[in-house]
Structure 1
Amino acid sequence: MNIRKRFTLIVAAGLALSSLSGKDIKGRVTDTDGVPMEFVNVVLLHDSAFVDGVITDGNGCFCLSYDAAQGLRLRLSYVGFDSRYADITPDGELGDIRMTASANTMLENVVIKGNASKTYLKGNALVTNVENSILAKAGTAKDVLRQIPMVVETNGNLEIFGKGTPAVYINGRKINDLQELSTLLSGNIRNVEVISNPGSSYAADAKAVIRIRTKKPQGDGWSGTFRSEDGFRHYFQSGNMMNLKYRAGGFEVFSTLTYDTGRSREKKFTDMATVTKSEWNQQLSTANTRHYKGFSGKLGFSWTISSGHYIGAFYQNEYAKNEIRSFLESDVSENGTFYDSWSTDADDISENTPRHAANIYYNGQINKLSIDFNADYIWNRGTQQTTNEETSLMQEDRYITTYSKRKTSMAAEKLALSYPVGKGVLTLGEEYTRSSTDNRFNTEYANLNSSHSTIRESNIACFVEIMQQLGRISIGAGLRYEHVNYDYFEHSRSENNLSRTYNNIFPSFNANTRLGDLQMSLSYGNRVERPGYSALNANVSYLNRMTYESGNPRLQPTRLHNLEYRMVWRNYFAQVAYTYFDNPIVNTTRPYSNDGEKTILTYENFSRRHFVQAFMGGQFRLGIWQPRVNVGMFTQWFDIVVNGNSKSMNKPIGIVQWQNAIHLPMDIWLNIDCQFTTAGNDRNIYAAHSSYINAKLYKDFCKNRLSMTLEARDIFNGSRQNLTLYNNAVTLNQKNFSDMRCLMFTLQYNFNVTRDRYRGTGAGNMEKKRL
């Protein structure tokens, strides 16, 4: 070979090398229907040797790079799909890569071996795989969430530890009725993400988010779920649900009907000490019996117009009625001397008639641009009537009736656009929410005033988020701007007409990396906590002759600064977080009457609150026994004034969870879960210790079409929590004697079960919660 030919070959090789050296390798992974696939493993190989690897994001996109020019190709793999290999193009742009479902997924009977669920980090989310794990046998989505790291159960409610009640999404769609979690089978869930520090694409008052993603749908025709959950918590309770779908090609019609009814009771003893001109002590015993019933109907459709274009809508109507019958006994002393004794028969009837809700969405892909648009509307009317027949031993008897009427409405829309930029994704969006609530309160009792108030609020928001992969480090940053107009008008008192405008910017940041089996993430978020409309409502409720209750229309929002660190190593995880609260909203008291002897319970903004939280845990496997142990604690730096003196509320609260899954013969699953919470302070409350032990047997039949669950919750009745509320003028100690244990039997039948194709994510989601 002469010199000229050698030179030509060298130049050609150099050009080929430079065409790929240091350049990005980009692509998007879809299924055969063109639907983007998330969490696909994308591995870069050089002559069959591993070079680098990533997983696809929510839009199915990936980006990685390498300097070698020859021998490079990609291997793509995902559970239930055939592995796919792709050659690298000179420009690194691979476009759409379609995955094909594996023939093995067509088997009628798939046996789950009971592998431990895998937990890993993805951005600022802690992800737990449910598919092909013991969690796939948990029962329903609600049962799954009880087993997810960072999720704790308090008085029957699911919360994120140290964050409170989360917003829950299923396949990107916000759910407003948690009963829907009972309609989703655990075997149809792919994974669950827990985000305790949400980014800028979520409303500024979203403190925590749970995202549930389900498996790919299969089959056309009719499908449905019939579920009945019946049992006793002293009285009989029943929850029933019917979910029907019809699917033909890309078009699906769905409907859901629920009916809940039952009775419950609670018993409490309250010792209330009030310091005004005199020292008052009230000892109150309360026994409540509640009868409830509710209906909910939902009808909607979703349509896959073509690959990458989806539309849908639903309409929902709800009705609920609660009747509470109460008997109260009060013994009152003044400066240690007997003052009076009262016996009260009280009736409280509240109705929600009706509650209309509707959503419409478009979700699409135009070349590399992803589009997500949602519009929501809610209209609700509710009434409440209370009657108090109070008998006094020393003074006159009283008969007090009050009547409240409330109307609320909300309209919202949200648009989010995503586009691949560099080695990541850029997301731009806007969200608009307008809500209104009208409250009317009437009474003939002389010491209470009738009132009529109106609250209107509009929120215009825009946000931007960007994610980039820089070698082993993934970095994300976001910015959200909100312009809020708040108008409060009390028709009977012109001095209470309040109007405010807020212009706020909320930044967010997260970074994560992997070092072998170790994953780490660091995130910062600036959020806001706006008071609920009930806390802003100036209507005054009568509790007894000495004590009243009301909201505070002058409340200001709370700003939160949250810094969070997470790490995952194999089957273990840990998290540490710090939060600073500026203007926290706290229950407090103030004098109500001119002589200062009567007290009203209300809300006020305090100056600041510091909060630190830590949580860690791991799971194991010992034959048929698969336990998980989690431990956590949180503490605060917060002082309040009690009887004119400063009081520290800094005692930490700890929690221990021990969850056990045991695979018995005949494919029966036994779950025994324990939780113990220590005594400590949260805001201006001292909570006593509490605990529970739950046991559950689960068995499915007829190739998962029929399932039965027998569950005993809080077997030793230890979840009852005693509280002490401290304020300047009032110290309230409450002991709970309610029966919390219950026994429930659930029967569920499914046919032709398929994943919900509805892709609406909702708009104004946090405003729905406030309403």
Structure 2
Amino acid sequence: MKKWIIICACVAVFQTILAQRITRQYNNVSFSAALKDLNARQHKYTINFVYDELEDFRVTKSIRNQSVPDAIMQLIGFYPIRMTQVEDNIMVECTQKTPTKMIGRIFDNKKRPVDFANVALLNVRDSSLINGGVTNENGQFVIPCEARKAIVRVSCVGYITASNTYNIGKIGTITLKEATMNLQKIVVKGHRQPFRMTSEGLVAQVEGTSLEKMGSAEDVLKHLPRVMQKNGEIEVLGKGKPLIYIDNKKIKGTIDLDRLSSSDIKHVEVITEPGAEYDATYQSVIRIKTTRKKGEGLGLTYRQVYQRNHQNNHREVLDLNYRYRGLDIFSNLYGGLSQGYQDQHNDNRLYGKTLMNINEDLIIKNKSYYTSGSLGFNYVFNDRHSVGATYEVNINPYSRGGWNSLMDVWKNGSKTESYTNDMYCRFKSRPTQDFTAYYAGQIGKMSIEWNGEIYLRKTGQTQYSEETGIEGGDSRTIESDFTADSWMHASKLVLSFPVWKGTLKVGNEFTESCRANLYTIDEQGTDLPGKTDDQVKESNLAAFVSYGLRLNKVELNAGLRYEHVSSNYYNTGGDYWSEENKDYFVPDQSRKYDHFFPNVSLTFPIGNVKMNMVYKVTVSRPSYSQLSSNVQYNSRYYYQGGNPLPSQPSNMA
């Protein structure tokens, strides 16, 4: 009798477990309807959501024997939707709570839905990025947006980028034309998606795919899922500006991406959940791996790019390479002309004792010539040891910019003043020098990666602003000069060991930098800060350990990073100088930080979808521009700058 009771109890428990597994097929249904259906088909979980908030999001998914939380995560995909679970209660909500959304669907010219397509919403005035998203496997996208209309730009590997202006709401379907390349009567069409998901993000295969024909590394990145270009900078959607490496070398700007040809790239890894070995201030990392040149002898590659928007832009790249056995000597010459033009209207409202409305029409122009050169070598001793070093010089011989504007000012509803403002800015810089070196090797089962860098830079700008009063305002001229002298040296060591069924990594990273600022201004009755002469020195010592384990189809990664940051502020004079802090070193404005940054991630498959659960701690630190004492004068009502004194409130407007 007892055996029968035990058997019946086990069967009941087994049936209960099975009852909580979901197998469903959803074809173009709303997210709300799918959640309502999931909630009705089981009794273990209570799913809470706002029906209207999720009604616009459409899903097409095949759920096979999944738990309710896993089924919901599979439905979310790339949508800006978050699931929170507390025991048996599940809350599902949209992370971008705007009343309006841009909704559409992407097809190719054969009426097939296009997945993994990047959809960017751009401002109709200046084409700046408002928001973005990625299409699901049914080609659908839903992107929250508060603007009344926006430029919808759709890009995907193997297709010609489409762009058009739409009013906010449901815009229907957009058809992408396939990109073809004619090679001696042979037509090659791009269909195969070169992407694969990993535990840290995704890897895009460039070599042997249509991505290698894009032009430069910057062009490749702009065609990857979740990667966008905003204000000339590369960003990962939802993760901000990434840390970018080319062959383990950390780069500092898009010029390095522009110099690298897409045909020289093997693959690109987009890491959306960086581990303990990376700087805790970054929430994403992009690693570019280049191809190894084949053959021996002297090689030469020349590449030229011409672009015409409102102005002419031109770039030229010359690569020289000599290879003999394990030795690879290379050099690179890069030069270009960059011009910009922007017609802008600003409508601002300032609240205070007096309500002010400021309308401004301005035309912004800039022009720069830039060039750089590098010389380096790689030497492969054998398949276990290799070294290399690179010396690079960047020169900006000519850089000018400025704007012409007309400003009308209303106070409490009455127009009181009108001005014209002619601003001219001349940028100045000395050659920037950058020396890097690396070693990669293996001793027994231990892998070693080391790289170091020394960086020197001196920049500045002289600015002239001439304001002329047209109606009810006085005229004045503002002249300022700013110089920043900086240096940095860094070193990073990573040791990897196989442990059980995974890999253990331990290492350290050290960075020391210094930036000296000198700022002077001809005030003429303004309330701007006067002369400043200060210096910020910072050192960052980090140690980290991480472990990655793979069991069948499940991947587990865990790590811990410790950082000791010391930031010292020095003052040699200027308006911030006083008898109290005349000792040059200002301890009250210097800081020391000690922090631990743990991270844990679990990756597992659900059907054809890989799910990733992550816990991590990050930190946000001010940039050098935010700590700069330089002030850019835009008008008598607007000026911007940093604040080198963290405990003193800034009076920047």
Could you say whether these structures have the same fold, taking a TM-score greater than 0.5 normalized by the shorter chain as the test? yes
Aligned positions of 1:78-227 closer than 5 A? 114-227=190-303
Q: CA deviation at 1:469?
A: 2.4
1:709-749 Cα offsets, whole Å, 9 max, x none, are xxxxxxxxxxxxxxxxxxxxxxxxxxxxxxxxxxxxxxxxx
Aligned positions of 1:243-254 closer than 5 A? 243-254=319-330
Answer whether contact 1:257 1:295 (CA < 8 A) is retained: yes
Answer whether contact 2:259 2:317 (CA < 8 A) is retained: yes
Q: Report the counterpart of residue 399 of structure 2 in structure 1.
A: 322
SS of structure 2 residue aligned to 1:142: helix
Question: Is 1:399 equivalent to 2:488 in the alignment?
Answer: no
SS of structure 2 residue aligned to 1:181: helix
Q: CA deviation at 1:216?
A: 4.4
Aligned positions of 1:750-765 closer than 5 A? none
SS of structure 2 residue aligned to 1:165: coil
d(CA) in 2 for partners of 1:112, 1:189: 20
* Change in 2 beyond 3 A, CA 1:335/1:289: same
Aligned positions of 1:382-393 closer than 5 A? 382-393=459-470
Question: Is 1:453 equivalent to 2:453 in the alignment?
Answer: no
Q: CA deviation at 1:136?
A: 3.6
State which drifts further: 226-235 or 251-260: 226-235
Q: What is the letter of the counterpart of residue 472 of structure 1?
A: K
Q: Report the counterpart of residue 569 of structure 2 in structure 1.
A: 488
Q: CA deviation at 1:554?
A: 4.9
Question: Is 1:375 equivalent to 2:452 in the alignment?
Answer: yes
Q: What is the letter of the counterpart of residue 234 of structure 1?
A: H
* Change in 2 beyond 3 A, CA 1:164/1:224: farther
Q: What is the letter of the counterpart of residue 285 of structure 1?
A: D
d(CA) in 1 for partners of 2:509, 2:187: 45
Contiguous gaps of at least 5 residues in structure 1: 1-109, 557-589, 593-599, 602-771
Q: CA deviation at 1:223?
A: 2.0
Q: CA deviation at 1:555?
A: 5.0
Answer whether contact 1:300 1:312 (CA < 8 A) is retained: yes
Q: CA deviation at 1:173?
A: 2.7
* Change in 2 beyond 3 A, CA 1:130/1:398: same
Answer whether contact 2:517 2:629 (CA < 8 A) is retained: no
Q: CA deviation at 1:474?
A: 1.9
1:15-37 Cα offsets, whole Å, 9 max, x none, are xxxxxxxxxxxxxxxxxxxxxxx
Task: Pick 1 or 2: higher relative contact order, CA cutoff 8 A, min separation 6.
Answer: 1
Q: Report the counterpart of residue 475 of structure 1 in structure 2.
A: 556
Question: Is 1:342 equivalent to 2:419 in the alignment?
Answer: yes
Q: Report the counterpart of residue 354 of structure 2 in structure 1.
A: 278
1:377-400 Cα offsets, whole Å, 9 max, x none, are 111111200011221133442121
Q: CA deviation at 1:236?
A: 1.5
Q: What is the letter of the counterpart of residue 564 of structure 2?
A: H
SS of structure 2 residue aligned to 1:528: coil
d(CA) in 1 for partners of 2:209, 2:191: 5
d(CA) in 1 for partners of 2:422, 2:267: 50
Among 522, 531, 548, the alignment partner of 1:444 is: 522
SS of structure 2 residue aligned to 1:533: coil
d(CA) in 1 for partners of 2:650, 2:446: 59
Question: Is 1:508 equivalent to 2:616 in the alignment?
Answer: no
Q: Report the counterpart of residue 545 of structure 1 in structure 2.
A: 636
1:103-157 Cα offsets, whole Å, 9 max, x none, are xxxxxxx997745024322221212333443334434333322221111233454
d(CA) in 1 for partners of 2:570, 2:469: 38
Question: Is 1:258 equivalent to 2:258 in the alignment?
Answer: no
* Change in 2 beyond 3 A, CA 1:115/1:478: same
Contiguous gaps of at least 5 residues in structure 2: 1-185
Q: Report the counterpart of residue 360 of structure 1 in structure 2.
A: 437
Among 303, 307, 326, the alignment partner of 1:231 is: 307
1:352-405 Cα offsets, whole Å, 9 max, x none, are 212111101111111111111111111111120001122113344212110001
Q: CA deviation at 1:531?
A: 1.1
Question: Is 1:416 equivalent to 2:494 in the alignment?
Answer: yes
d(CA) in 2 for partners of 1:215, 1:112: 22
Q: What is the letter of the counterpart of residue 358 of structure 1?
A: F
SS of structure 1 residue aligned to 2:223: coil
d(CA) in 2 for partners of 1:229, 1:455: 39
Q: Report the counterpart of residue 466 of structure 1 in structure 2.
A: 547
Q: CA deviation at 1:591?
A: 9.1
SS of structure 1 residue aligned to 2:598: strand
* Change in 2 beyond 3 A, CA 1:298/1:187: closer
Aligned positions of 1:478-627 closer than 5 A? 478-492=559-573, 493=576, 494=578, 497=586, 498-514=589-605, 517-554=608-645, 592=651, 600-601=652-653
Q: CA deviation at 1:545?
A: 2.1
* Change in 2 beyond 3 A, CA 1:591/1:244: closer
Q: CA deviation at 1:267?
A: 1.4
Q: What is the letter of the counterpart of residue 412 of structure 1?
A: A
d(CA) in 1 for partners of 2:215, 2:411: 55
1:595-617 Cα offsets, whole Å, 9 max, x none, are xxxxx32xxxxxxxxxxxxxxxx
Answer whether contact 2:233 2:254 (CA < 8 A) is retained: no
* Change in 2 beyond 3 A, CA 1:547/1:513: closer
SS of structure 2 residue aligned to 1:440: strand
Q: CA deviation at 1:199?
A: 0.6
SS of structure 2 residue aligned to 1:144: helix
Q: What is the letter of the counterpart of residue 293 of structure 2?
A: P
Answer whether contact 2:418 2:473 (CA < 8 A) is retained: no
Q: What is the letter of the counterpart of residue 377 of structure 2?
A: F
Q: CA deviation at 1:227?
A: 0.9
1:190-242 Cα offsets, whole Å, 9 max, x none, are 33221112111111112211122234432111223211111322222111111
d(CA) in 1 for partners of 2:388, 2:469: 60
Computed over aligned residues only, the root mean square deviation of the Cα atoms, in angstroms, reads: 2.4
Answer whether contact 1:141 1:186 (CA < 8 A) is retained: yes
Q: CA deviation at 1:518?
A: 4.1
Q: CA deviation at 1:181?
A: 2.9
TM-score between the two structures when normalised by the length of structure 1: 0.56
d(CA) in 2 for partners of 1:276, 1:288: 29
1:502-550 Cα offsets, whole Å, 9 max, x none, are 1010111112234664433222221112111111223333222233322
d(CA) in 2 for partners of 1:591, 1:371: 46
Q: Which has the higher strand share?
A: 1
* Change in 2 beyond 3 A, CA 1:259/1:173: same
1:320-356 Cα offsets, whole Å, 9 max, x none, are 2420132121122222223222112211011221211
* Change in 2 beyond 3 A, CA 1:509/1:112: farther
* Change in 2 beyond 3 A, CA 1:591/1:388: same
SS of structure 2 residue aligned to 1:544: coil
Q: Report the counterpart of residue 619 of structure 1 in structure 2.
A: none
d(CA) in 2 for partners of 1:183, 1:386: 31
* Change in 2 beyond 3 A, CA 1:548/1:418: same
Answer whether contact 2:241 2:282 (CA < 8 A) is retained: no
Question: Is 1:241 equivalent to 2:322 in the alignment?
Answer: no
Answer whether contact 1:229 1:240 (CA < 8 A) is retained: yes
* Change in 2 beyond 3 A, CA 1:190/1:514: farther
